[in-house]
Amino acid sequence: MIGRTRIKICGMRERTEVAAVVAAGVDAIGLIFAGQSPRYIEPERAREIVASLPPFVDAVGVFVDQPLDEVNEIARYCGLTMVQLHGSETPDYCAAIACRVLKAFRVKDSLSTDDLAPYAGKVAAFLFDTFQEKLAGGTGQTFAWSLLKKLSPVSPVVLAGGLTPENVGEAIRQARPFAVDLNSGVEFAPGRKDIDKVRAAIAQVAAVDAAVSRLSADS
């Protein structure tokens, strides 16, 4: 982990809630453009939200196996700073995206560095989410964070999958990611964020970062 753990809140749909989570101190928001998601947002609405963001807060668009031209057009139209890919997109597909790419992988026992190696140099970071047979993401369930130990040379790592204010601290202790990605664990309904939960999660991240920093200083 380098410095403090960055925080992304995904599945945002309401401009007022975006303003609130940004004020609370998040580093990035996620906007889901996969039509099958209950948190889907129309590009026109997303564009208004992105235009309202202050400098240094990233706007991340989430896509699942969508045509390359469509992804690049939405990214351009909305002013996205990153694209997060949750499908079976190839390394060449990732390299053809017009902005930085987070490539998501669903964690299961068979996942290895051999699966990730072809993406090295073509994506900005690797995002690890919970494997569930019929869902590309947003499962609301955690995975065994210890499984990431065999992928330790991979960097930077973004940790997702069922993170909540109650477990995000332990997730960071075990996985030491560059960033965490929260969604359903800070909601009161799909696409609607509970700002108190967001603040609680941010506080937990800050607390564990401080503890890790103290341990590093003492060692």
Is the CB of residue 165 less than 8 Å from the CB of residue 204? yes
Reply yes or no on whether 78 is catalytic: no
Q: Are 22 and 57 in contact (CB under 8 A)?
A: yes
From the list 10, 58, 78, 94, the catalytic residue is: 10
Question: Max Cα separation, the chain?
Answer: 51
> Is residue 187 within 8 Å of residue 194, measured between CB atoms?
yes
The identity of residue 138, as a single letter, is G
Tokens of 26: 């998040």
Alpha carbons 204 and 211: distance in angstroms, whole number? 11
99 is catalytic: no
Q: Which of 58, 78, 94, 129 is catalytic?
A: 129
Could you give the residue numbers annotated as active site? 10, 129
